[in-house]
Structure 1
């Protein structure tokens, strides 16, 4: 690939050949004579006494004085020949060395572009030569360099870097600016390619935070200033751009953005109602639209007259329609390529005050969307059409429309300074004296009567204008007084309504308070009655608890008697009865009575536990040996009892009888038979016990009773 060193080599060779040519020597001699002529006319003795700007001005005028001569044409021809020879020689050398990946045309274009960029970097004052790219989109590297030359301001960059070094380059709303920047990159359709670019978000935050700090206001940055930075950011982050750090890109963007904000047209810094220039721009756009498509202007006026219910002029309608787009220089309304093309045309004319391409591009923007705008019925639909259909417009469409309708006018404005109001005399050329004046059109001559009539007309118009202003002022005062009276009547009516509302609320709240007092009184009476009833019940319970205490003592005495019976009688019958009796007594007592720290339930449970332990010891013994002896005695006793029952049945009935047969015997005979059976069983048992005692085998005491 061709490097910058190759570009410098062929350009330097061409420069050496030009400087050594005879044409260049003749031209410099003639230029020296022209400079002397300019110094003589300006009464300057020594060229070195002039300032640098004055030297450049004298040289420029001297060059213009001789640029129509033969020597100038010969020198230009020599320059073209040398440049062409050296350029094609360099291209042939590169192709001979093996660079076959690029065509000859591509190599030539690359060298020319690099040569121009090299000259612009060495001589930034030649940036005016970029006017030749009017209505042409600049290549990416050309665009980056051109914007850099027009928006360069080293002082701004130095101030920013010093603030960064002191850690004072951030606004108090830095976090808010960062979040809004990320949201803008994520939501704006024309910048979706920067959505996930963290460098872009950080650069936006750094630049806008510093810019907001310079403003010295507590208000938020308007959305317009976020949008105006995006094209500069796009150019700085171009893939073909040198790989720079985030801080370097931020410093570059700060310099370009602040310079651009200071150089932007006046009508962008003020609202259209505050600046007459904004009205002039809109008026020029309206004229262009009316000239190109009257049907479209009729549709536009009709749309905005419906919205405001008055017949709006085309100027007012264009203002409503284009003000958002013009305030952001079409950022958000065009695709990135088309937007950068429009900004190219704007930036190359920043050094020319008479050049203003806004009206032309605004009119072209509307005319290219005429088919969509004619179908709109409301301002909202117009705005939606501009936002959605604008990004579909291409660079070629803009170029074609500008070329056919507005190129000549824009070109003349861009090169207006090239035309001198008076000719520069070339002392080396033989020109007829006063030839310039003979070519100037003589202005028309007016008579005194005409001037007097014109003066009267102007005075009459001025008088009518003053009367109209006075009439409008009186009408304005009358409207203001009428509005004030209506406002006062509305306020009085509102005051009366408010008083009535407050009075109704007061009465209602008073009634509510009375009802609340009555309700609380009734609740208090009911509570007092309930408290009295509870106190009576407490007294009754206390008396009942005292009675229950003596009943427990009586029960304990009965339980002791029952224990004696259990120890010498049948356990299975007496123990459940005793437990049931104790439960009936304790269940009727209050669980809150305590005797020596124990409640009735606790005392009863302790007593039952001791009874169960005693009964278990009596029935089963204290160890395994005693339990075995008791079990053997019990089995023997049960067998003896069974035999006694059988013997008693035979003695009473003469045969064995079942319990069912006994139950079938009617009363009172059944009761008598049961007594006989019981007596017979007791007699037989006592006889057996006596016999056992006689032989020394007594196992049970005499007081055993069968219940």
Structure 2
């Protein structure tokens, strides 16, 4: 899942072509002028006098100041045209020469190539994850979901701690209740009916789920059993990583490490209204649902009653499983906007 960035050929060609375009040269000239203006306003003699971080800040400010100007619009339009041209040329050649493309609609092939391009860019510049905010109220494309979730649920320190314990103190990476956790994981994977790719238990999904939850419980220093909610919360992550998890043998170590990082980050940062353990956060759930109902009522008053009924159902005992598309849509919204302060 990790490795050297490989950019699609069409993306490399687009970059080369844009770099030679007059619109690019005009924009760079305007950007240089804007940077000089910012230097003058801040009484900085030379760009070279700035520290690296300050240079980035100045260029970013200058770039933002140009976004409402003609140079920016012309470059944007030229880049879009050249990008369309390169992708369409690539797909046209593929449809003529690649037997695997026979019967596949052109728009589908274009989307696949564009997703490959997005993935390669995100691997190089993970800070561009904020672009996923464009997915407000729409699902994240399946091929991009793994990248999006791993970027937003990222905590290298959590992964480092896990790896160090495995290497130096492996017993501390396993719960005293490992056998019980194993049995519960197997039962949960068997009864859930949302994700057919991870259950009934496949070997890979079972061992990955058990490894993460056993490690998580071991770090809590808690003698009580894990609440069933903790088992439910890992299922969407397992599904997202399922293309990288074997069905017939235990999941690879690097996949388990990523899953540990995602899970611990989510548990740490999740909203209080999701912390439904032992009913201790019902007030947060009610407060959140009231706020949502208030906003919805401004557009459709009947939704207030519907939401109240739904929240009441959540308070009842028993486990319920949403259909896959609905559940993943909810998780996409929560995950890709987890960095937005409400």
Cα 1:263–1:351, aligned 2, differ >3 Å: closer, same or farther? same
Match of 2:194, SS state, is helix
Name the SS for the 1:135 alignment partner: coil
Distance 1:248 1:195 in 2: 23
* Contact 2:174–2:211, Cα closer than 8 Å, also in 1: yes
How big is the shift at 1:190?
A: 3.1
Tell me the distance in 2 between the aligned counterparts of 1:242 and 1:207: 14
Distance 1:164-1:345 versus aligned 2 partners, 3 A rule: same
Report what 1:338 is aligned to. Answer: 326
Query: In structure 2, what is the Cα distance between the partners aligned to 1:153 and 1:77?
Result: 37
Bigger RCO of structures 1 and 2 (CA < 8 A, at least 6 apart): 2
Q: How does 1:510-525 map to 2 (within 5 A)?
A: none
Structure 2 counterpart of 1:237: 242
Structure 1 alignment gaps of length 5 or more? 301-313, 326-330, 355-707
CA shift in 2, pair 1:156/1:9, >3 Å: same
Alpha-carbon distance between aligned partners in 2 of 1:77 and 1:288, rounded to the nearest angstrom? 37
Structure 2 vs 1, CA of residues 67 and 191 (structure 1 numbering), >3 Å: closer, same or farther?
A: closer
| Cα shift readout 1:351-402 (whole Å, capped 9, x = no counterpart) | 2113xxxxxxxxxxxxxxxxxxxxxxxxxxxxxxxxxxxxxxxxxxxxxxxx
Per the alignment, residue 83 of structure 1 pairs with: 83
The answer to whether 1:184 aligns with 2:188 is yes
> What displacement does 1:268 show?
2.9
- Equivalent in the alignment of 1:260: 266
Cross-structure match for 1:64 = 64
Report deviation, 1:293.
5.0
1:542 is matched with which residue?
Answer: none
Which of these residues, 255, 277, 290, is aligned with residue 283 of structure 1? Answer: 290
Q: 1:219 to 1:242 in 2, by over 3 A?
A: closer
Q: Distance in 2 between matches of 1:127 and 1:324?
A: 37
Cα separation, 2, equivalents of 1:12 and 1:287: 48
Change (3 A) 1:52 1:183: farther
CA pair 185-245 structure 1, distance change in 2 beyond 3 A = closer
What CA RMSD, in Å, does the superposition of the two structures yield over aligned residues? 3.2
Offset of 1:6 from its aligned partner? Answer: 9.8
Normalised to the residue count of structure 1, the TM-score between the two structures is 0.43
SS of residue paired to 2:229: helix
Pairs aligned (count): 329
Residue deviations 1:298-349 (CA, integer Å, cap 9, x gap): x99xxxxxxxxxxxxx7xx876444579xxxxx9431122211111111111
Alignment of 1:446-461 (within 5 A): none
C-alpha change, 1:44 and 1:353, in structure 2 (3 Å) is farther
For residues 151 and 71 of structure 2, the distance between their equivalents in structure 1, rounded to whole angstroms, comes to 32
| 1:249 matches 2:255 | yes
Give the secondary structure class of the aligned counterpart of 2:222.
Answer: coil
Q: What are structure 2's unaligned runs of at least 5 residues?
A: none
Matches within 5 A, 1:241-640: 241=244, 245-269=251-275, 278-287=285-294, 292-294=300-302, 297=305, 320-323=312-315, 332-354=320-342
CA distance in 1, matches of 2:254, 2:147: 16
Distance 1:343 1:105 in 2: 27
| Partners of 1:208 and 1:236 in 2: CA distance | 16
- Secondary structure of the residue aligned to 2:173 is coil
Alpha-carbon separation, structure 2, partners of 1:296 and 1:265: 22
C-alpha distance in 1, partners of 2:153/2:245? 18
| 1:295 CA drift (Å) | 9.7
1:118 to partner: Cα distance: 1.4
Determine the C-alpha separation between the residues in 2 that align with 1:157 and 1:224.
Answer: 22
